[in-house]
A and B are shown apart, each in its own frame.
Chain A
């Protein structure tokens, strides 16, 4: 009952002509990727992607994306739970605000972060006084990535929570489970797939984040120059390096996305 493929069901809501635009959409995404692969200078590919600056950029990208995904989960999961299950005035306003970073151009997000955490920013000023400097640091990169990725996690998880419904949670409560136990033993296990896909989305978005990082964190090898920033820089002088690094970024993202969809725990999908 968990996987219906191959059981003979006829897709009655799928008119044949849908396949044409669907194929077009697939090609629209795939062909640019093929175009990049076609441009690779294969003999030089390995040295280009293993250069010191490339390695530094890749490691920094993976580290910061992982850190920002963790931050997104730590902050975003409670937000999603509160938005899906909580009852308080202004809930719909909060939900709209959470989606704001999705709409903002990343550069604008970077500017906003600058005015918050920058040396003369709203919070940055106070932080300076106690000796904490955020600008030009790896922390700034993580903050920029978290800012743009948080909505992905919140939306994905909130959607999963709403469609799962609170029925099982009610049952658990009547069986004697307090709110914390209900969360741990019923709510989260049932929306685990939604949480994982939200985290993957957040990670992928963080990996590709550029505008906010450039504006807020700056660009210095090993500290703030993530892979997208390295590609942007290499474009100035070495187009081959830029293309090779682009393929590297695509490959890393693909591995993450495919790897996460492969493992699935039984639950509500």
Chain B
């Protein structure tokens, strides 16, 4: 049994959380930077002692401030994989992966065999004799993953493991991790900003905001149909709430209509979801096929890599303003800046309609 239940409060880091992971489940932990996600993982791993709290792994209570119990990190059976691979620079790749088996008392030869097994499993068996300084970022993370899995942990803790990898390395590692975790049935918690990580790897997701749990639920429904605006913002999805006026058409609280795809009964409460990258920005009301056009006063303009995210002001019913992603060149051409009135247009094909029976006010 390797479920995890954690209740912790740390005044200095402004964190007050209660989180649980079932045996064999993978939990995605989402939240803004500094919200307390890393603190959660470090507390479960035994690297941080909360002011007040209780952590149990399986049947074993590993931290209990009231009862004065604190099992040190090296006896918890948790493995931590971080953004930086943190491979021991003075050991070869093979020695790195063999570290945990050696700590458990395996002979040098047996540990080496285990190491080779895991290195092959992550696809870098040929790098066994190399030193960490000679590896690329993606290779190093693979080795770090092998090292963590070679420890045969009860719980695998991942703290934004792919954030430092380039666009080609991340997807491959994501697939690898998914296959390994599912094959082993490992209990895991993964902190991530990347929606794709959560969708690919996790069963459940939890959102942490300002040190407290803001929302929790099955990952698929949470990201595609987040019940809170904060969840929507994290997922980077546009969300407009309303009621279904007819199949494929949602009527907002202020009387506008949004056309989209989705099987929701007429009259039911629903949310329309669409990606900012599916939204086009027009200086004048556009003619043509887009069925959904929203007049928007730009509230802020945000540079995100090669794209510019243009966010409109709050919706009349209080919902988060709509967001559109445009190229930097387009933003300059259109002179997009806060205060300008523009039109957001999105094809009905890009809008997903979902029922929202437990719609909570944001």
* Residues of chain A whose beta carbon lies under 8 Å from any beta carbon of chain B: 1-2, 167-168, 170-179, 181-182, 185-186, 189-190, 265-268
**Are A175 and B86 closer than 8 Å at their CB atoms?**
no
Q: Is the CB of A266 within 8 A of B86?
A: no
- Given A174-B46, A178-B103, 11 more A-B residue pairs with CB atoms under 8 Å apart are A1-B133, A173-B47, A173-B74, A174-B76, A174-B78, A174-B79, A174-B80, A175-B103, A175-B147, A175-B148, A181-B74
Q: By the criterion CB–CB under 8 Å, are A266 and B89 in contact?
A: yes
Whether A190 lies near B151 (C-beta < 8 A) is: no
Which residues of chain B from 74 to 114 have a CB within 8 Å of any chain A CB?
74-80, 86, 88-90, 99-100, 103-104
Query: If A2-B133, A174-B79, A174-B80 touch, does A265 touch B90 (CB 8 Å cutoff)?
Result: yes
Most-contacted residue by chain B among A2, A176, A186, A266 (CB, 10 A): A176
The chain A residue sitting closest to B85, CB to CB, is A171
User: Residue of B at shortest CB range from A174?
Assistant: B80
With A186-B88, A190-B90: A175-B151 Cβ-Cβ less than 8 Å = yes
Within 8 A of A (CB), among B262-299: none
Residue of A nearest to B150 (CB): A175
- Are A176 and B88 in contact (CB-based, < 8 A)? no
Cα-based distance from A167 to B134 in the complex (angstroms): 20
What's the count of A-B pairs with C-beta under 8 Å? 68
**Given contacts A168-B88, A190-B90, A266-B89, are A175 and B99 in contact (CB under 8 A)?**
yes
Residue ID in chain A nearest B103 by CB atoms = A176
Most chain A CB within 10 A, of B72, B90, B147, B148, is at B90
Interface centre among B78, B89, B131, B133 (most CB of A within 10 A): B89
Chain A positions within 8 Å of B74 at CB level: 173-179, 181-182
Rank and list the top 8 A-B pairs by shortest CB-CB distance, nearest first: A176-B103, A173-B73, A175-B100, A174-B80, A1-B133, A189-B90, A173-B74, A177-B103
What residues of chain A lie closer than 8 Å to B47, measured between beta carbons?
Answer: 170, 173-174
- Give the docked Cα–Cα distance between A175 and B88 (Å): 12
CA distance A266 to B80 in the complex (A): 25
* 7 A–B contacts from the bound complex (CB under 8 Å): A1-B134, A167-B86, A171-B80, A174-B76, A175-B74, A179-B72, A190-B90
Q: Is B21 an interface residue (CB 8 A)?
A: no
- The chain B residue sitting closest to A172, CB to CB, is B99
Closest CB in chain B relative to A65 CB, distance in Å? 29
Task: Give A151 to B100 CA distance when docked, in angstroms.
Answer: 36
A190 proximity list for chain B (CB < 8 A)? 88-90
Judging by beta carbons under 8 Å apart, are B100 and A266 in contact? no
Say yes or no for B258: interface residue by CB 8 A criterion.
no
Quick one: which of B79, B99, B131, B133 contacts A177, CB cutoff 8 A? B99
Whether A176 and B133, one on each chain, are in contact in the complex, defined by CB atoms closer than 8 angstroms, is no
Best-surrounded residue of A167, A172, A175, A179 (most CB of chain B within 10 A) = A175
B134: chain A residues within 8 A (beta carbon): 1
B77 contacts across to A, CB distance below 8 A: 176
**A170 and B90 within 8 A (CB):** no
Judged by a CB distance under 8 angstroms, whether B45 is at the interface is: yes
Contact residues of B between 42 and 78, Cβ < 8 Å to A: 45-47, 72-78
A98 CA / B303 CA spacing, docked (Å) = 51
* Shortest Cβ distance from B95 into A: residue: A185
Contacting residue for A171 out of B75, B86, B131, B133, CB 8 A: B86
**Shortest Cβ distance from residue B200 to the other chain A in the assembled complex, whole angstroms:** 24
Q: State how many angstroms separate the Cβ of B123 from the closest Cβ of chain A.
A: 21
Write out the residue numbers on chain B whose beta carbons fall within 8 Å of the beta carbon of A181.
74, 103
**Using Cβ atoms and an 8 Å threshold, which residues of chain B touch A173?**
46-47, 72-74
**Are A174 and B45 in contact, CB atoms less than 8 angstroms apart?**
yes
Given contacts A171-B80, A175-B151, contact A267 B103 (CB under 8 A): no
Across the interface, which residues of B come within 8 angstroms of A178, CB to CB? Answer: 72, 74, 103
Chain A neighbourhood of B99, CB < 8 A: 172, 175, 177, 185
Q: Give min CB distance, A197 to chain B, whole Å.
A: 17
By a CB distance below 8 angstroms, the chain B residues around A182 are 74
Q: Which of B80, B103, B147 has the most CB of A within 10 A?
A: B103
A213 to nearest B CB, angstroms?
Answer: 38
**A266/B90 in contact, CB under 8 A:** yes
Residues of B within 8 A of A268 (CB): 89
How near does chain A come to B335, taking the closest CB pair, in angstroms?
38
Find chain A residues with CB under 8 A from B100 CB. 175-176
Residues of B contacting A170 in the complex (Cβ-Cβ under 8 angstroms): 47, 73, 80
A1–B137 alpha-carbon span in the complex (Å): 14
If A167-B86, A266-B131, A267-B89 touch, does A176 touch B104 (CB 8 Å cutoff)?
yes
> Once the chains are docked, how many angstroms separate the CA of A178 from the CA of B99?
12
> In the complex, A174 Cα to B42 Cα: how many Å?
10
In the bound complex, how far is the Cα of B275 from the Cα of A60, in angstroms?
Answer: 80
- Chain B residue at smallest Cβ distance from A177: B103
**Cβ–Cβ < 8 Å partners of A179 in chain B:** 72, 74
Point out the residues of chain A lying under 8 angstroms from B148, CB to CB: 175
Contacts A174-B47, A175-B103 given; does A267 touch B90 at CB 8 Å: yes
Complex: chain B residue closest to A181, CB-CB = B103
Q: Is the CB of B86 within 8 A of A176?
A: no
User: In the assembled complex, which residues on chain B have CB atoms less than 8 Å from the CB atom of A175?
Assistant: 74, 79, 99-100, 103, 147-148, 151
